[in-house]
Structures are given as structure tokens and as C-alpha cells.
Structure 1
Amino acid sequence: MNAVTRSTVSAMTLALYTQAATATPFDSETLRLRGIDPGLATYLSQTARFTEGVHAVRLWVNGQPKGIVQARFDVVGALCIDRAVHDAGELIDTGSSCGDFIEQFPQTLVELMPQAGEVRLLVPTPALRTASADLTAFTQGGVAGLLNYDVQGLYNQFNGQRSRFLSANTEAGVNAGDWILRSRQLYSSAQGKASLQHMEAYAQRTFSDQQAMLQLGQINLSNPVLAGARVTGAQWMSETALSASGSGARVQGIAATQARVDVRQSGVLIYSTVVPAGPFKLNDIPQVDRRRDLEVTVIEADGERRIFTVLAATLGLDLPARGFALGIGQLRDSGRSAQEPWVLSAGGSYPLAPASSVSSGAFLAQGYNAGGAGLNLQPWSGSQVQGLVQAAHASESDERGLQGSISLNQQLGARWSALISAGRQTIGYRELIDSAWNQATDQRGRLRDQYALGLGWSHPWTGSLSGTWSTTTDFDGQRSSRAQVNWGRRLGPASLTATGQWQLAGDGGLGNALYLSASLPLSNGLNWRSTARHDAAGIRLGSGVQGPWDERTQYRVAAERASRTGEVSYNGGVSRLTRASQLDVGYASYGPGSHGYSGAARGAVVVHEDGITLSPYPLQDTFGLLTLENVADVQIDTPGGSVWTDRKGRAVLPQLAPFGRSNVQVATASLPRNVDVHQGAATLQAGRGAVPRITFGVEVTRRLLLQVQDEAGRRLDRDTGVTDDQGRLVTLVQEDGAVFVPNVHASPQLWSHTADKQPCRLQFELPANPDADAYYEQAVAQCRVQENES
């Protein structure tokens, strides 16, 4: 063991010394004969304890880990339950004094474990913080502006033809005084033809006393049983009702090449992106209305367009949350030849019993009235049933009709689950958007009924298997059916997956395709993947690798061969998560003269009183700002993903749970070697629309390994104590006069004893700027005897 290792171990052992459980007497002469400084007797005779000062410890409260906290200990090693311990342990605030908590809760047990660097608290239940039903108890206020962006670009050259596509989904807004202002727009450019589609612009605020929310502007009317409407107006609704509608739709399919995917609802383009060849899954797509089908268009590299419909029923049950919604506004974006009537919407959902609830709603508009009711039940274990009935009257055409649907989610034992949905409407039923069109409609070509079935199976031997089937029939008898199957199985380290889709009836759709893949992890995070795809163009076999270039960069390279023509295609790309954005670039070659490029950038820009901070993730309606006192490139783990501080030590907390708890923690391994954080973790409780600020204090340390001699050139004796100017023990002298100082800033004056036991002061010189990448610095020191000093 070299001197550096011995010195470090000795310093750590001394700081966490726990050898004695009770006071122990020491014989000074025995210590001296064994070469140990007798001045250590007082220190070593004490019970197990931390040394005085601040230590990074793991905190446990009532058996639950609470992360790492910078805990303070007094001169006798007792824990100070201060603000840092209160916040990390989620304890109620009892005051700033160290003894206030114990005084208020004397039954608290404190277990100090210096040898493990842990502190365990056992506290009574009243001492724990609980989520308050009073929403005013949460952090409120704050001002910041934001711009979320998701930019996708695609260029393809196929058989001499070129295509260019660019899309930018943006969301601009401001959070101020708990008001949330947002504006969403979608820019797209295809073949040089650009369009800018404004989606919505609104303001909203939660009023905690009423536990309700107000929305103003271009909004979507919320109704628990009727299809919503895009209006310009106002809406007053329960806070819980809006929080339940935050998740988006999920769309799955298979692309033959690097393709563009457009998603429309009610004729409105709501999402556009680029996907690689193979199965794709798009999550959290924002919907205009959660009860309308989605129309998905896949545009391949050669310009081929394939369109399929995702039934709203296959997206799963959308059970309304308890609460009410009342809104009024003028219909918007219903088509160039459509009317824009005023609409009044009202509805609510309330429990009948612990396992059932009832919903009702109504629309009143110029020339249109509708009403409906719904029943949600859990009739037996593992089941959920939803039934809806709606009636509508379009007065201008004097058409009346009914629509009904029923859906069942059922867990069939430990392995099986099923989804069954059925819906039907009469020929006279009209939605609000349908009644607004100033054009004759072909009633025979309208949808009459739709059915959907989903099954899921999971077993350790066979893996997980799921399938969906959906069919629709028009009043003229035209039918369209689609099916999809997904299977996955882990076999040792390897993963096997299969995806199949079939257009069983009707024209269009994605066609029939089967996709198989097998992946195997290799060394250093590298993953090998082999694929097989069968579709109308024949069979394609491919293979490739993907893995990490570094901790924030991923790369992928693959090749594919078409069995029918023998043509080989190649593709590759790089994805990089930076402090400011998520970046992705890709290239694909489909044969001689045919290739494509793609690029994407995603993230957010935040404007606040201290300047501009960038985020690699889009921001939600409730977000925060963190400061780490000018320490750059430190990783912060947040509920929305890991972020990194910029050169000013600032980072954005992109996603905080509104009226919930969000844990934020510094990844201490990413700190510079000479920096210690005072408090590495915090729990934020923020109201919706708030912009909480949090600052983690840091301390710049300077660790030294000194080679010490006295004025006669003699090395200090091993195990001699080294103290600060107050006589407090700092460390011990090691072999060959080595002295390891944990932080010279905390102990700028160091004292010891020469070989003939005279007090002496350690004198040394250090460069002005320490090396931030070095754990410790090395220097030579001389221990000089000081006159008239002790």
C-alpha cells in the first residue's frame, strides 16, 4: 500500500471512527510507547461519532431511503436536524434550531452509522409531511417564458425524383403568477410548398380555493360523454378533470423505408414526424377529441402513400375523472365551407358507489342540440365496463339520431387480458362538426357501426403476445377491417420480437406486412440486431449494430438485402443528448441513385429574469429552474429525465407533477473533484403553472497530500496528530511524513509536533488556481516551531 492510499484511508477512517460504543480510558504512556500521539486519547475515548462539521451521508427515515444529504454535526458528533435534513427526509418544519425537532418529537430515535456514512431516523407519523388537500400549501408563482420545439427534416432521392420535407412543431408560452399562456403551431414544407397551421392559443389558471381551472381562448371543450369541439371561448372545469386528459394517443405501424408519418383527426393535421424503416410506435400524440378516430398517412421514400385509420375504441377506455366541465365558445377550424355557431357545453361525472360512476353531458348550439349519458362499472374483479348513449338533433336538416357504444376491459386470470368494444349509430345521427358543414352529405356512405377486439397473453415461457382487430361498416355496406399482432420474448440475453399487420377488408391501409427481429447485447453496451420483413415488395433481410459512442451519444449502422431483386440498402445515424437539445442525424441508401438524409432537433428554450437557459426536453405546464452556483456540466436527475447545468450553473427541471411531489437529485459522480454539494437532493411540491426555483449550495474543497519535514529535515513521526488553529484534530501523520488534508480551506492553519515533541506549524505554498480534475494536490511542507504560540 503506497503513502497516498494509506493517507487517504487513514483520513477517512478517522472521520468515520466508530470503534468504541462507550467511553473508554486510554493509558497515555502505552500510547507513547506504541508510537501513537497521546493527544489522541481524548478523541478516541469518546463514543462512536462523526467528526464536527458537514458530512455527505445517506439518510433513511422510517426505513425509507431519502438520498444523500449534507448533514451537520456538532462538536460531540450529534446530528443537527436542520433545514437540509427536514427537506431531504420530508419532515415537517419545526424551526431553524438544531434541537427544535427533537424537542417537539422527543420519541424520535437517531441512529448514527459513521462507518457506513449513514444516518437513520425513526420518527412518529405526525412528523412526516403529507400531501395537503389544500392546494395553497404548494409552491405557487414564478415567471418564465418558453419555446418548445420539435423539428424534423427529410430529403429523399428515389429513382431520379427528389422530395424534401420539413416540419416544426412549436409551442410558445409564458408562466406568470400561476397563469399558463400557450400557443401551439405546426409548420410544414413539402416539395417547396409551405404551410403554417395555428393549432390553439389559450390561457389557463387553477384556482386552488375552488379546486377548479379556468381556460380562455382557442380551446377544446371538454365533455365526459360527447365528442368535444374546437372553439374560441371560455371553460370552467375541475382541476382533476383536466389532469386526467393529459396523456395522448398511441399509433403503431410498419414503414417500408425511412418515411414521413402524418396524423389527422377530423381533417386537422395534429402531428407529423419521420420514422426509420420497420415497426414504429408514436406515443402521446395530442388529440383534438378523444372520441374521434385518427387517420394516419405513411409517405415512403419513393412517394408511395398509405393511409389507415386507428379507431378511438382501440386506444383503450377513456374513463372520465370525477368532476364537472362547463364551457362556451364559437366553433372554429371546421372547414372552409362550414358555419361557425356558438356552442354551450356542460357535463359532469360523479361516483355512485366505490366501483361505479355515472356521467352526463349536453351540447346546445345554433341549429344543433345533443345530450348523452354514460355508466362506468367494475362489476367483478379485474373488469371495467363503460357504456355510452348519445342523442342528437340537427334542426336545419331536421335530422335526429342515436349513437351507442359499450367497451369492456377484462383481466382473465394472471396471464390473459381482453378489450372488447362495439358501437353503432342510426342514419340520422350527427356530430356537431358534421352539422356545421354547408354541403349535402351522402348518408349511405356514412359510418354505421364499428367493432374492436384486443387480446393479450403473457407467460415466462412464451413471452408476451398481444393482438388487435377492428372493423367498420358504412350504411351502404362497405366494410374495412385491420388486424395487428405483436409478440416479444427474452431468451437468455437475446430479445426476440415479431410484428404483423393485415388489411383484411377494404381499400388502402398499410397493406400486409410481417416484421421479425432478434437482438443480442455484446460488449461495451454494443447491441447486435438482425431483422426480416415480408410485404408486397417481397422479403428483406437485414442486420446491424447500435451502441454508445459515449454516455450521451448513440450510433447505429445497418444493412438490408431484398431477396427478390438482390438490391442492398444501407442506413445509419447518430443520436446525441446535449445540455441544450436532443439531436439526431441519419442516412439511408436504397440502391444506385436512391438515398435519403434525415435530421431532427428537440428541446426547449426558457427565458427568465436571470437570462436564457436551454433544455434538451420539451417543457410541461409546470416546470422549474435549478442553480448550482456557477458549477457547469453537472448532471441533475429529474422526473422528466437527466439534465446538465450550463456554464452559469443553471438547469431547467422540465417536468414537475402539478399538485404532487417531484424528486430532484444531483448526480454526485458528475461533480468536479474539488466541489462538494451542501444538499444533493430536494422534493418539490408545486401548483399547476408555478415556476419554483431551487438553489443547491456548493463548497469548493482543496485536498492536499503534504510531504512534511521539520526545520532540521527530519520527517514527522507516524501517527502524530495534525490539528487546526483551534486544536481540533484534522488528520494523522502517515509513513514518511505524509499528511492528507481533506480540505485546506476549512483548516488554513495546521499544527503538529516535531520528532522531539515541540509544537510546530505546517507552512507550504500552493498555486493560485487548483486543478479541478485532480482529487488532491501534492506539495512539500515544513513544520516550523513557532515562538510564543501553542
Structure 2
Amino acid sequence: MMVRRLSRSIYLSTFLTGFFSLTSAQADEGTPDESASTEMVEFSDAFLMGDAGSQLDLKRFSRGNPVLAGTYNVKVFLNGKEMFKTPLTFHENNTDYASACFTHALLEQLSVDPEPLNQEDEDGCYDLATTLPKSSSRYDPLTQELNVTIPQVYLVSHPAGYIPPSRWDSGIPMALLSYNANAWHSKSDNTTQDTFYSGLMLGLNLGAWRLRSNGAYNWDNDNGGEYSSYDLFIARDIVPLRAKLEAGEVRTNANMMDSVSLDGVHLYNDAQMDPSANSYVPVIRGVANSNAKVTVRQEGRIVTQITVPPGPFAISDYYAAQNGSDLDVTVEESDGSTRVFSMPYASIAHLLRPGEVDWDIGIGTVDKDTVDETLWAGVATASYGLSNMFTAYGGVQMADNLYTAGMLGVAMNTSIGAFSFDVTHSQTTADDVGTLKGQSYSLNYSKNFTATGTTFSVVGYRFSSENYMSMNDALSLKNTLNNYASDKNTTTQEAYHAYTRTRNEIQANVYQDVTINGESYGSFYLNGTWRSYWGDDGNTSQYSVGYSNSVGSVSYSISAQRSYDEFGEEDDSINLGFSIPLGSGSSVDYRPFSSMSVNSSSDFKGNDSVSAMATGSSRDNMYNYSLNTTSSRNKDSEDLTTIGSWVTRNGAYSTTSLSATQGLNGDQQYSLSTTGGVVLHSGGLTLASGYLTPDSTMALVHASGAKGASASMGNGQIDGFGNMVVTSLSPYRENTVGLNIDTMENDVAISNTTGVVVPTSGALVRVDIETDARKAFMLELMRDDGGFIPLAADVQDSAGSSVGTVGQAGIAFVRGMDDSGTLSVIWGSGAESRCQVSYQLDGNASMIGKTPLISGLRCRMSSTSVKVTP
């Protein structure tokens, strides 16, 4: 037996050496170098040991590895540059080599000018060399790479990352429910507070149409519960305009003039359809002294509410519906104390590439939450890239007979930075006040100084004259005057002059890398906002400065904040933090806790706190957890020491967090948070993990029988119905959606674990992963006459269907069989090139991974029955 297996190994090594020496010869089609594509290599069967070798037909390998007809997931290169990965069909062409089918859509993906394209063949394919002279393609089946060469004269220039609209996928019909819930309980000083918040988003997709509605349910133990619904609208892409149409409760964009809430129609060009577009929401940063509840509001409406552990926090996973409106952040500690601060929401924009247009149009009635009566309003803004240096922009706003405004501006891209300057003129007609005319002037600056590592992200100044009104100011003033009309002790003029609106505003955001002689010494930032007002002598301002660095593996940071309200009341805070790694957290050097942090904060008014926290995660990273303790000194109450914990489960179908805090004085805090979604589609209900917004773009991965396989990106997992929802796809971009089969529960064959999709915004695109869930075996085969069974011999069942192939060392992999039966092994023509083997699976079979191996099977070379010894 030892000699026989050794001989088999030598035979296999010799065969594989001769076989794979041919792999450098690749399947070509239409290549300019015809000698390379037609050169034949004759393979001598003398390399094959044993009589069976002479029975193998190797002619199809004479020009390298043959390409069989079928569809393959191919990586495409154009003129040496990697372009994309796509399913590509190879069809028969009356030779041993199938050829790639170049469809109109594929050539469009390759940015081929459609003008020279002639008629396709009966399969809808173009002959590349005939259609585009001097063009060629070369396919390597080993790497599954298609290298296409096309002269530049036939190509159309596009920005980097451009995806033709023909590849955009609007997705499948679906209904969606997304939730973001937080339950909170706290008890301190004999006062108990119980609250519950759930943000809900409902959605429906049908073709290119999207229906969305946001809502929120708020409950507390004092006021009970209330559900409010808002932002109910339908939307769809207008592809020729690269635009989006929305109808219902909509908001105009705020990149130039005030965003206005309308019950009407909103049409605007969608920057996501541009390869260079980026979405933006500000990161909300702060410091929690204990397990704290953080509530973010925009115009009084809760945007998100989460519970955070002690120490610095940063929140970016939220949906802010109205760019331009500040975010109000409330941090409520476990002892009931609260802190409130505002986060400006603005960015310098306007600069466009030459010839590019950005526009926005909205018309409808003003939302009743804004004004008490029906008012028709219209908004139109536009910007145009004049040159590499200048962009012109402007807009108009109108609201019945109440308000009219026009704005003109210019943005400049210079060697010392980007500037924008604009002037807005407004005219407001107010009851018993008359016509108010005023102007507002704005100057903004942004620059990244690479040499010094300094970034001025936004430095801006705005001045508004006394009678200037933005549209939102005018609408708010109208409500104010209507309310004062019922007050006999206040005149309308007095009410107008008491109405508060911005007079001066200065913003600055500066970031600085500290590098000396090429060595980094950390970084610091400086942010500030200052405002003065008409109708109020007071000013408001807030400033923050911070520095961070590391020494060895220990990192530290220090930050300070100061703010003044309209009454001149000062609020200060300073925070010092350290973070110390305790281990790598890897499976090789696993430690339950991977880091420890210490934070100290003070407001210089007798309120100080020190907290320490250890954080860690499970080996599979499904659970993240922490233990913390906080000691605080309060000038108006007793000192307090608390012990708390936090755990988050990053599940396949939801993300859930629990927190608890216990004070030595009896104070308590508990919270439960969860986020996720439910998607209804033609295949049933599928749960989704993570926070979903109205624009969330997703993929429905279907892999029948592959239960337990996880997403290569995100936390999704194939459920018992073979479905999984993958979130956080990028709209109008290529997304590779794949499976990690290491976590798969069943022995399922998967021919290709990835799919490439280009979804539109808000779409649910379907990705079908081809699987074979039939039972699989590995059979160790030996001929009963002592001969060898050749590599790649075909294994067939009693019906003559191919069920597997013989691999190295006589090991056959078969699938789709019963627990017992008889198989035929065929490697040529004639009785001398086939044998039969009987098998039976029992409990003694060894396992190779999840596949049983039946050893010692003899394959009969004659019709004589041979008893099989398993």
C-alpha cells in the first residue's frame, strides 16, 4: 500500500507539472499578435504514468487552459487599468475556446463612444476587433481577469469613478421598517425618571419610486406617550437630469439660502450621482461623566437619542434632515444633571468644476409647524462653474405677499485658499410695521496648508442689517406679530423691535498637526462661534480647544470649552484623558479587557469628576463591554461615587446595548438601546442590523441553504430562508457584496461568494449567490486491478449524470448522492476506461471539515460483483 500511494504521488506530481506549465498560454481573441494566439503546444501523454494516461484527450489544452462557455465573475482591465468586476458571459464560437460577449452595456461601462458601434450578432454581442479596429482582449482563466485594449480615439472621457446610468439598479420591490429605540430609567434624590424614545422610519420601494415616512414615539412617566409623524414623501430619480424628484413633506436644500419646509414638490440635482460628491454631517463630540443619555435635536425635533458610557464620545451615525440648522445637544447624566450645547451645521460649498451646474427648485405651501396660516412659497437656487478659479451662484425665495429675497455670490479658488462672498437682499411686508428692506453680507474662507499641517475648514463672517430677514425669520416674525396682536399692552412696533435675529456671526474651525523635524507631536484643534443679535443687546458664543498625542502606546488628550449665553452667564469645562492598551484583543493574544481609560473633568465652579473605564470585547467581536467607576464632587449636593457597566451585542439582525449604574448613595440608572430593521420582500421577511435612514441603500443576498454565512461587510448573516440584508452600500457606486463562509452551518457548495452591484439611492438590490446544498461526500478510490484512476476522471450516478470529479490521490468529491449507492467512474471510451464502485455512509466515516470521507473503496474494472469494504 505504501509503494502504491508513493507511485500515485509521483504520477500526480509529474502530471501537474506538465499540465500547469501550459497555463502561461492564455485564451486570446482578436489579439493583434495572431502568432501568440494560434501557437499550438503538443502535450505528450508519455508524461502520464500508467495505461490510463494514454486514454486522456488533452487536445483542448494545446493553446493553454480552455475557456468553457458560461458566465464568470470577471475582473476587467482597460488599457492596463483595473476598471470593475462584473459577471461576463463566454459563448460558443465553433472552437474549443468560448469567447467573451462584448454587449452594448459592457462597452458603455468601458466608456466606449457609441458612435462607431455597428450591429450586434444574434447573441447581442459585438465583434471587438471588427467594431473597434486595433482593439483586442485577452482572458486569463486562472486569475479570471479580462485585459481589454482599446485605442483612446474610441473612448469617451469621464471623471474618475464614473458609472454609466445603464448599470444603475433601482432594486426590487420591498417594504421597510427601521427603528432606533432607547429606554431610560434613573433614580436620584427620591426622584424617579422613566423615558422611552423610538425613532421609526417606514419605507416602500416600487421600481424607481420611494415612499418614506419618519416618526417618533416619546414617553415619560410624567406626561405619558405621544407619537408624531413627519417627512412623509415620495421620491424617484430623474436620470437624464441627474436629479431627484420629491413630493409631499419636503425640505429645500440649505447650501445657499434658508432651507424651507414645504408641503409640495422639490426637484434638485443629486450630488451623489456625481463621482466626486460627498455627503456631510457634523460629528457631535462631548464628554460624559457617567452612563449618560445624549439627545440631539434639530429645530426642536429629536434627531437621535443614545446612551453613552463615561468619557469622550463622538456621534456621527444619525440622519440630519436639514442642512444649515444647528443641532442642539443635551447630555443627561445618571444623577439627573444635564448639560446643553449647540453644534453649528454648516460648511463652505459653492465651488464647482468648470461647466458643472448645481440647482435646487421647490414650490408648495409652508409647513403648518412653521406658520399658522396657508402660505404659498417658492425657492430656486443655482450655481455654475465658470472656470477653475470662479463659481457663480445665486437664488430667489418668495412667500405669497409676505417675503421676497434674492442672492448673488461668487466663490474663488486661489493659491491662498478658497473664498466665497455673497449678498442677499430681502423685502418683508409685516402687518402694521410696513415694508422692511435689508441686506446680509457673508464672507467665508477655507484652506489646507500642507506644509504646516494647518487646516482652516471654515472661517466665516456674516453681517445682517436691522431690517434684513431670512425666510425663516420672516415666517417666525409673522407668527410673533399675530400673537402680540392679542396683547393690548404691546404694540406691533414694540413686538417687531423685540424680535431677536442674528446681526453678526463669526465662525472658525482650525486644525493643526504638530510635526517637528519629521516627527509627530500630536495635533490640536480650535473651534469657535460668536453671535450678536438685533432685538437683544446680549451676545452668545462658544469656544473649544483641544490637544491630543501619544507616548509609546499610551495616548492622552486635553480639551477645554467655554460658552456664554445671551445673559452673559459663563459656562466652562476642562477634560483630561488617558488611554492605556491592555492587550491586542486578537485571538492569539486575547485578553478580556483590551484598554483602560481615565478621564478627569471640571467646570471651575466646584463641580469635578474623575472616571476610570476598562473596555474589551469577546473573541468573535460580537460583544463589546466596559466596566467603569466615577467619583464626582458637586457644589450644590453631596459628593457621589458610582459603579457602572455597559455591554453591546453586535448581532446579525440588530444591535443592542445595555447599561447600568449604581451610586453608593442609592442613585440608580439603567438603559436599553436597540437599532435594526425589518425588510419585507417577495422572499419573505428579513431582519437588518444597524441604523437605517430614508436614503439607506441595501442589498438582499440570497444563498439557499447557506445558513450562518456572514456578510463580508457589516453584521448581516444568512437566515434559515437563505436571505440576508447588507446595509451601508454606496449609491451610484460599485459595491462588492460577498459572503464569509467560515461561519456557515451547513456543507453547501458555493461557486462564487461575491456579487457586484451599482444601486440607486434607497434601493434594495438583489444579489443571488449560486449554491448547491445537496449532500456531499469524499470517496477514496482504488482500482481493483491495481491501476490508477486518472486525475479529472468523471464520476456519474446510475442515471448517467455527472456528480463529481476525481482529484489528487484518487480522492473523488461527489455531491447530490444518497447515503448508499453505486457510481461509475469514467476517464475515456471503452470498458478499459471505466469502473464501478459501491459505497455506504456510516457513523465511522471521518470528516474533512463538514464533509464525510469514505476510505478504502475499490472500483471494479469488470462486471463481476465485488464486495466493498468501507
**Class of the TM-score when normalised by the shorter of the 2 chains:** 0.7 to 0.9
- Select the residue among 150, 153, 159 that pairs with 1:124: 150
Q: Which moved more, 1:65-74 or 1:503-512?
A: 65-74
Alignment correspondent of 2:854: 778
Structure 1 residue 535 corresponds to structure 2 residue 602? yes
Alignment correspondent of 1:64: 82
Alignment correspondent of 2:65: 49
Q: Which moved more, 1:614-623 or 1:226-235?
A: 614-623
- Select the residue among 729, 734, 737 that pairs with 1:661: 734
Residue identity in the other structure for 1:518: S
CA distance in 2, matches of 1:26, 1:285: 66
Paired residues for 1:124-203 under 5 Å = 124=150, 135=165, 138-140=168-170, 142-193=172-223, 194-203=225-234
Alignment correspondent of 2:454: 416
Q: CA deviation at 1:319?
A: 3.5
**1:87–1:683 Cα contact (<8 Å) kept:** no
Alignment correspondent of 2:489: none
Structure 1 residue 394 corresponds to structure 2 residue 433? no
- Select the residue among 432, 448, 456 that pairs with 2:474: 432
CA distance in 2, matches of 1:92, 1:745: 44
Aligned-pair identity (%): 15
**1:544–1:559 Cα contact (<8 Å) kept:** no
Alignment correspondent of 1:108: 136
Q: Deviations over 1:284-309 (max 9, x none)?
A: 65445433333322222222232222
**1:390–1:404 Cα contact (<8 Å) kept:** yes
Residue identity in the other structure for 1:409: S
Structure 1 residue 351 corresponds to structure 2 residue 361? no
**2:409–2:420 Cα contact (<8 Å) kept:** yes
Q: CA deviation at 1:598?
A: 1.5
Summarize the Cα distance change of 1:422–1:95 in structure 2 as closer, same or farther, 3 Å threshold. Answer: farther
CA distance in 2, matches of 1:144, 1:538: 52
- Select the residue among 736, 743, 747 that pairs with 2:814: 743
Gaps of 5+ in 1: none
Q: Which moved more, 1:617-626 or 1:428-437?
A: 617-626
**2:778–2:851 Cα contact (<8 Å) kept:** no
Summarize the Cα distance change of 1:195–1:242 in structure 2 as closer, same or farther, 3 Å threshold. Answer: farther
Alignment correspondent of 1:254: 287
Summarize the Cα distance change of 1:97–1:248 in structure 2 as closer, same or farther, 3 Å threshold. Answer: same
Q: Deviations over 1:307-336 (max 9, x none)?
A: 222334xx432448733333222222446x
Summarize the Cα distance change of 1:147–1:472 in structure 2 as closer, same or farther, 3 Å threshold. Answer: same
Q: Deviations over 1:219-272 (max 9, x none)?
A: 113365321221212223334499979643432222222222333334444443
**2:397–2:406 Cα contact (<8 Å) kept:** no
Q: CA deviation at 1:441?
A: 4.9
**1:69–1:679 Cα contact (<8 Å) kept:** no
* SS of residue matched to 2:475: helix
Q: CA deviation at 1:783?
A: 1.8
Q: Which moved more, 1:157-166 or 1:780-789?
A: 780-789
Paired residues for 1:620-631 under 5 Å = 620-621=694-695, 622-631=697-706
* SS of residue matched to 1:292: coil
CA distance in 1, matches of 2:624, 2:464: 50
**1:223–1:325 Cα contact (<8 Å) kept:** no
Q: CA deviation at 1:616?
A: 0.8
Alignment correspondent of 1:611: 684
Alignment correspondent of 2:33: none
Q: Which has the higher contact order (CA 8 A, sep 6+)?
A: 1
Alignment correspondent of 2:29: none
Q: CA deviation at 1:18?
A: 0.8
Q: CA deviation at 1:142?
A: 3.7
Summarize the Cα distance change of 1:507–1:778 in structure 2 as closer, same or farther, 3 Å threshold. Answer: farther
Q: CA deviation at 1:514?
A: 0.9
CA distance in 2, matches of 1:776, 1:149: 44
Paired residues for 1:413-562 under 5 Å = 413-414=450-451, 415-418=453-456, 419-430=458-469, 431-437=473-479, 438=482, 439=484, 440-441=495-496, 443=498, 446-458=501-513, 459=515, 460-475=519-534, 476-503=536-563, 511-520=572-581, 522-525=583-586, 526-536=593-603, 537-562=607-632
Summarize the Cα distance change of 1:701–1:426 in structure 2 as closer, same or farther, 3 Å threshold. Answer: same
TM (norm. structure 1) is 0.83
Summarize the Cα distance change of 1:269–1:76 in structure 2 as closer, same or farther, 3 Å threshold. Answer: same
Q: CA deviation at 1:547?
A: 2.0
Paired residues for 1:259-270 under 5 Å = 259-270=292-303
Residue identity in the other structure for 1:557: L
Q: Which moved more, 1:324-333 or 1:562-571?
A: 562-571
Alignment correspondent of 2:348: 317
Q: Which moved more, 1:102-111 or 1:344-353?
A: 102-111
Q: CA deviation at 1:159?
A: 3.4
What is the Cα-based RMSD across aligned positions, in Å? 4.6
Summarize the Cα distance change of 1:67–1:673 in structure 2 as closer, same or farther, 3 Å threshold. Answer: farther
Structure 1 residue 296 corresponds to structure 2 residue 337? no
Alignment correspondent of 1:724: 794
- Select the residue among 693, 711, 732 that pairs with 1:636: 711
Residue identity in the other structure for 1:502: R
TM (norm. structure 2) is 0.76
Q: Which moved more, 1:535-544 or 1:660-669?
A: 660-669
- Select the residue among 383, 386, 405 that pairs with 2:442: 405
**1:483–1:504 Cα contact (<8 Å) kept:** no
CA distance in 1, matches of 2:318, 2:181: 15
Q: Deviations over 1:368-403 (max 9, x none)?
A: 223232434234136222223223233122233322
Alignment correspondent of 2:417: 383
Q: Which moved more, 1:298-307 or 1:767-776?
A: 767-776
Q: CA deviation at 1:555?
A: 2.3
CA distance in 2, matches of 1:582, 1:183: 22
Between the two proteins, the alignment pairs up a number of residues equal to 768
Q: Which moved more, 1:450-459 or 1:693-702?
A: 693-702
Alignment correspondent of 2:837: 762
**2:43–2:58 Cα contact (<8 Å) kept:** no
**1:545–1:557 Cα contact (<8 Å) kept:** yes
Q: Deviations over 1:68-107 (max 9, x none)?
A: 98998999995764699x9899669988979976766785
* SS of residue matched to 1:531: strand
* SS of residue matched to 1:428: coil
Residue identity in the other structure for 1:416: T
Structure 1 residue 234 corresponds to structure 2 residue 234? no
Summarize the Cα distance change of 1:58–1:496 in structure 2 as closer, same or farther, 3 Å threshold. Answer: farther
- Select the residue among 17, 20, 23 that pairs with 1:18: 20
